[in-house]
A and B are shown apart, each in its own frame.
Chain A
Amino acid sequence: MEKCGIQDQKLKANPFPNVIIGDCGNEIAKLELDRKYDLAQVKRIAHMLLNRYKLGGFKIYESSCKTQKIWNKETDLKEKVIFKFKIRNYHLIFNRKMRSVSELHSILAWICLQTKDWDLIMWFLLQCVKQTVTLRTGFKGKTRPPKEVCRFGKQDKMIKEFEDNRQFILNFMKRRVKNRNGVICNEGF
């Protein structure tokens, strides 16, 4: 728990731009909420799930943030950007250990029905195809690894495990790794 947050900021560049490293498994209840959601809405969804399935506690990570601009070239003003807004994507993780894969799938299916979010439904179907639920913990191209935004309730079981796993991957990225040919690949640090 102590290692998260500021330590991630030390990673400045992606050492392995060709691949994405993530956490997979069916023991932790995880969600990905993209594009449409504000942090308050994500919290509300998390509390809904927490109360319904008694999941102990939750943690929210902000995976990426994009700034969108609306342009108007016809205006005479110097600044031709009329409006700026940010789109944020979030990851949700819960504390209780899942009893079975079917329990995890039922939770995810319920939230898909409640939100009626097409992106979330597609993400859920993709996880069903892969047979594991995966969330990104490392870099993705230029986007940085997800950072912690909010936490609520107990954090001692699966959230702790997830956090350990996340730190493990970040530590791996920090190290200088030699290829089989003897080339050092993460020179960005």
Chain B
Amino acid sequence: MSKKGAKTTTVHRIRELSRTRKSANEIVRQTRREGIGIRRKTILTYIRGFRGKAPKKDVYKYIPRKYRIRERRIPFEHEVKQKHVSVYGKQKGINKRYEISGTGHEIMDFLRDAVFHPPRRRIARIRANRISDRKEVDYGKVWDSRPKIES
């Protein structure tokens, strides 16, 4: 019980000192004079917490490589960016358009068909990775040649 009480008093005292304009080194000296037994490292963490200071970045670079503790490497999950591409034109005077979304390779694969053949609907929203969305392409028909489109 006594230990626990001592800890609370030290923390309380450090909080009081950190509210003043004293520097961290001055606070450490003050605690030693008062006979409070606490490590410098822990005092500094307390002071940072009370004053709302962010911890220093990239602390690991100050430690030599042979003493560094290696963290377990997490397998890197590759974030694939989604692209959105629209292809539009006319088929027998009717405006038609694809709105394709997916990764670059998937869209590239789909565009090979979309550039030559119009969709069955007026607006076809397609996910390029879905095989079922290939049914939207009307392979029997082709786009009008050189139409005047107002986008």
Q: Do A and B come from one complex?
A: yes
Minimum CB–CB distance for A24 against chain B, Å: 4
Q: Nearest residue in A to B151 (C-beta to C-beta)?
A: A136
Kindly report which residue of chain B lies nearest to residue A15, judged by CB atoms.
B115
Secondary structure at the A interface, as helix, strand, loop or mixed, is mixed
Are A180 and B86 in contact, with the CB atoms below 8 A? no
Q: Is the interface of B mostly helix, strand, loop or mixed?
A: mixed
B89, B123, B139: which contacts A19 (Cβ < 8 A)? B89
| A78 CB, min distance to chain B CBs, angstroms | 35
A17 at the interface (CB under 8 A from B): yes
Task: Report whether B145 and A18 are in contact in the complex, using a CB–CB cutoff of 8 Å.
Answer: yes
Interface residues of B in 70-129 (CB under 8 A from A): 81, 83-89, 97, 99, 104, 107-108, 111-116, 123
Of chain B, the residue at the smallest CB distance from A142 is: B146
Contact of B149 among A130, A140, A164, A185 (CB under 8 A): A140
Q: Name which of A39-47, A100-108, A110-118, A165-173 contacts chain B.
A: A165-173
Query: How many angstroms from the CA of A18 to the CA of B144 in the assembled complex?
Result: 6
- The residue on B at minimum CB distance from A132 is B99
Q: Is the CB of A19 within 8 A of B85?
A: no
Is A21 an interface residue when CB atoms closer than 8 A count as contact? yes
12 contacts between A and B (CB under 8 A): A18-B142, A18-B145, A21-B85, A23-B86, A24-B84, A24-B86, A141-B146, A177-B112, A177-B115, A179-B116, A180-B113, A185-B115
Q: How far is the CB of A133 from chain B (nearest CB, A)?
A: 10
Q: In the bound complex, what is the Cα–Cα distance between A132 and B84 (angstroms)?
A: 10
B143: Cβ under 8 A from any A Cβ: yes
- The answer to whether A23 and B149 touch across the interface, beta carbons within 8 angstroms, is no
Q: Is B104 a contact partner of A168 (Cβ separation < 8 A)?
A: yes
- A134: contacting residue among B86, B144, B146, B148, CB under 8 A: B86
A23 to B84, Cβ gap below 8 A?
Answer: yes
Instruction: Look across to chain A and name the residue whose beta carbon is closest to the beta carbon of B112.
Output: A177
Determine if B147 is an interface residue (Cβ-Cβ < 8 Å): yes
Q: How far is the CB of A184 from chain B (nearest CB, A)?
A: 12
Which residues of the other chain, B, contact A164 by a CB distance below 8 angstroms? 81, 83
Question: Whole-angstrom distance between the alpha carbons of A24 and B149 in the complex?
Answer: 17
- B104 and A24 form a contact (CB under 8 A): no
CA distance A154 to B122 in the complex (A): 37
Q: How far is the CA of A140 from the CA of B86 in the complex (A)?
A: 13
